[in-house]
Structure 1
Amino acid sequence: MKALVFYGAGDIRYVDVETPEPKPGEVLIRVKAVSICGSDLNGYRGKSPFRVPPLIMGHEFSGEVAKLGEGVTNVKVGDRVIVETNLYCGTCANCKAGFINICENRKIIGTTMKAGSYNGAMAEYVVAPANKIIPLPDNVSFNAGALIEPLANVLHAIKHVGSLEGKDVAVYGAGPIGLLTIMSAKYFGAKRVFAMEILDNRLEMAKKCGADVVINPTKEKASHVIRKMTDDVGVDVVFDAVGFAETVKDSAEMVRNGGTVIWIGLGAATVEIDYKSAVARELGFKGTYMYITEMLEGIEILKSGKMNVEQIITGVYPLSEGPRVFEELVSGKSKDIKVVLHP
């Protein structure tokens, strides 16, 4: 089969590799759509410990069942599917406590974790455990199906703050995760959504996704704008999908007393927080990682037709063009926001 194989920083190649065979309890999936995650781009840059070459990346994907391993009865050849890519152990302390998203022994399809590497879906075929297969409804396209995994991350993040009904929400960053957060906030009844982003094409997409107010922080200080528009109260919740020192600081300044800042972005290793202010204002800061049951919830949302995740897909290319697409996304030559590859 053909696959995109990551060989090192700046080196990803479209090559022939052996088609995997499903073992007992596994399923071979013919990949129909695989999207490029920001973490894949960090891997390509050589800046991710979770992408150790040689590796076939790709953890956001959809496809059709092509072959069944021995003993598999929950799906059949030809079924449209997506996959829960978090392969947790189920026996560690975190798993036993229900935190399967931070399993100590997990593997994640398309990545390298402590437990080892697992080739992903930037290929014509990928193998996955049968118990991780999720049916994809007929009215949800393969392209949309490839975005259910990142949507699940967002839905999990929102659960940390409970109801968004009638609340003012700010979202820092209008990349794919930020845009999915904007759409989800509106879906769950947010009164106003403020979006902050430095790239104009992404600000326009944020408007399209439902942002009520868009702000370019290079032109005006976002927290000042938000304070002015909320009578100096601030927003109820901030979702920081960037994670840089500047966004962390500004998020704390724009959230109301007693409000919550959710950290989704993995931009910086360390940041500074005004500890005394956070204590005196009873601010809440919460990190969020992956998902638990939210892929199933994401499917139901898309099945209902009440959220159009495909609108953030700005580029669809053959898998064979993957090396060019990666290079142009990382170099800035491409202005695509979310890219889907078709094997």
Structure 2
Amino acid sequence: MKALAKYGTPSQFGSYKWIEVPEPICGDDDIIIEVKAAAICGADMKHYKVENGSDEFGSVRGHELSGEIVKIGKNVTRWKLGQRVVSDNTAHVCGVCPSCESGDFLTCPEKVNLGLGYGTNGGFTKYCKIPGEILSIHKHTIWEIPENISYEEAAILDPICNAYKAIAQRSKFLPGQNIIVFGTGPLGLFSVQIAKIMGAVNIVMVGLDDDTKVRFGVASDLGATHIVNGSQEDVVARCQEICGKDGISLVVDCAGANIVLKQAIEMCRPNGEIVRIGMGFKPVDFCINDISMKAISIIGHMGYDTTSWRNAINLLKSGKIQVKPMITHRLGLSEWDKGFALMESKEAIKVILTYDCD
């Protein structure tokens, strides 16, 4: 079967190669899923157009995936052939650290993600194996998809759960407060929706010039009350004008750039919160004393847990979370390069890839 694989060691960026791989073998405790939909994520984009020159196979990529169970090991009893399922992309954890003990598997120091880590294959292919090891430790590494949720929608539950935990579980956000969301990708757009559900008054989406083509309009449709273009406007002044100088209680950083953290600290009210979802790779080069002077809480955020998934699935099932406006392109997996290019240009918000190589 064909697959999109990353080559190189875990610490290396790139390179992608379109290759032939063997179908996975189902062990006594494993499950094999036929992938019905897989989405391109921002984490996948980090390796796009990066050539590291390595010939060392890393893994088949694609960690946002859904599909149908087509094989089960003889020891598997909780799952059945034909079930429609979505993976939370956990492939390996130690099972004994404080994170695992509390069910926060994505902060396990030994965690390996399906289709995102090294040595565990994901959904940018036809078949994907859910290892029996993780099924025994993490009972909800896969979830059954409700009947009224499509494979496409289910494949994008990962960022929904991520945004849900960031705001509903990690912050102390209350109905009637205001929220600033930096970053117009799926995490930012789902954060807008979660904020709306939770009763935010002003929901301010901050983006850049490139976001005017597609994403600003979608953000408004999904609940953003105001749009701020950081390429054209004084972000801090504009956000404080909208919410009031002491009205910004929560800033959600889905971008990760240093300038975002700087602006968030400047605009946040005393005793406010900043939840950092996005990641950057440069050292901070500005004074952070206002974190102490204003008693701001900066909350590092990673992933989701079982509560996130259970509640996000319920919200999607009920129609309170909208996914379809964010699926801008559907392509065959063989056209993966086109899909990545659309993501890079921000013409796409979410690209769904389906296997087309038989």
TM-score (norm 1): 0.91
Match of 2:20 among 13, 16, 22: 16
Separation in 2 of the partners of 1:175 and 1:63? 24
Superposed CA deviations along residues 207-238 of structure 1, whole A, max 9, x for unmatched, are 11110000101111111011122332241100
Describe the shift of the 1:310–1:53 C-alpha distance in structure 2 as closer, same or farther (beyond 3 A): farther
- Secondary structure at the aligned position of 2:204 is classed as strand
Quote the residue 1:2 is aligned against: 2
Describe the shift of the 1:231–1:185 C-alpha distance in structure 2 as closer, same or farther (beyond 3 A): closer
Q: CA deviation at 1:339?
A: 0.9
Match of 1:93 among 85, 94, 98: 98
Quote the residue 2:236 is aligned against: 223
Q: CA deviation at 1:152?
A: 1.1
Separation in 2 of the partners of 1:46 and 1:279? 39
Contact kept in structure 2, 1:88 and 1:105, CA below 8 Å: yes
Q: CA deviation at 1:329?
A: 3.4
Match of 1:253 among 240, 262, 266: 266
Match of 1:307 among 317, 321, 336: 321
Q: CA deviation at 1:263?
A: 0.5
Describe the shift of the 1:179–1:328 C-alpha distance in structure 2 as closer, same or farther (beyond 3 A): closer
- Secondary structure at the aligned position of 1:127 is classed as strand
1:64-213 equivalence runs, <5 A: 64-86=68-90, 87-112=92-117, 116-129=118-131, 130=135, 131=139, 132-158=141-167, 159-198=169-208, 199-200=211-212, 201-213=214-226
Q: What's the C-alpha RMSD, in Å, of the aligned pairs?
A: 2.0
Describe the shift of the 1:340–1:164 C-alpha distance in structure 2 as closer, same or farther (beyond 3 A): farther
Q: CA deviation at 1:97?
A: 4.7
Separation in 2 of the partners of 1:258 and 1:133? 38
Match of 1:31 among 29, 35, 43: 35
Q: CA deviation at 1:273?
A: 5.1
Contact kept in structure 2, 1:164 and 1:185, CA below 8 Å: no
Tell whether 2:343 aligns with 1:336.
no
Identity %: 31
Q: Output the amino acid matched with 2:343.
A: L
Separation in 2 of the partners of 1:300 and 1:292? 15
Contact kept in structure 2, 1:234 and 1:254, CA below 8 Å: no
Q: Output the amino acid matched with 1:321.
A: E
Tell whether 2:305 aligns with 1:296.
no
Q: CA deviation at 1:241?
A: 0.5
Superposed CA deviations along residues 23-65 of structure 1, whole A, max 9, x for unmatched, are 12111001011001101110234499xxx84421111111111
Separation in 1 of the partners of 2:247 and 2:50? 38
- Secondary structure at the aligned position of 1:95 is classed as helix
The worse-fitting range, judged by mean Cα deviation, of 32-41 and 321-330 is 321-330
Q: Output the amino acid matched with 2:202.
A: R
Describe the shift of the 1:207–1:44 C-alpha distance in structure 2 as closer, same or farther (beyond 3 A): same
Contact kept in structure 1, 2:160 and 2:312, CA below 8 Å: yes
Q: CA deviation at 1:326?
A: 2.3
The worse-fitting range, judged by mean Cα deviation, of 202-211 and 212-221 is 202-211
Q: Output the amino acid matched with 1:71.
A: N
Contact kept in structure 2, 1:6 and 1:44, CA below 8 Å: no
* Structure 1: gaps of 5 or more residues: none
Separation in 2 of the partners of 1:253 and 1:141? 42
Separation in 2 of the partners of 1:231 and 1:111? 41
Q: Output the amino acid matched with 1:160.
A: R
Quote the residue 1:285 is aligned against: 298
Q: CA deviation at 1:6?
A: 2.7
Q: CA deviation at 1:73?
A: 1.4
Superposed CA deviations along residues 278-319 of structure 1, whole A, max 9, x for unmatched, are 212111111100111112221111111111122111111111
Q: Output the amino acid matched with 2:248.
A: V
Q: CA deviation at 1:21?
A: 1.4
The worse-fitting range, judged by mean Cα deviation, of 82-91 and 298-307 is 82-91
Separation in 1 of the partners of 2:7 and 2:93? 26
Superposed CA deviations along residues 107-145 of structure 1, whole A, max 9, x for unmatched, are 110122xxx521111011100034422100010111110
Separation in 1 of the partners of 2:311 and 2:347? 30
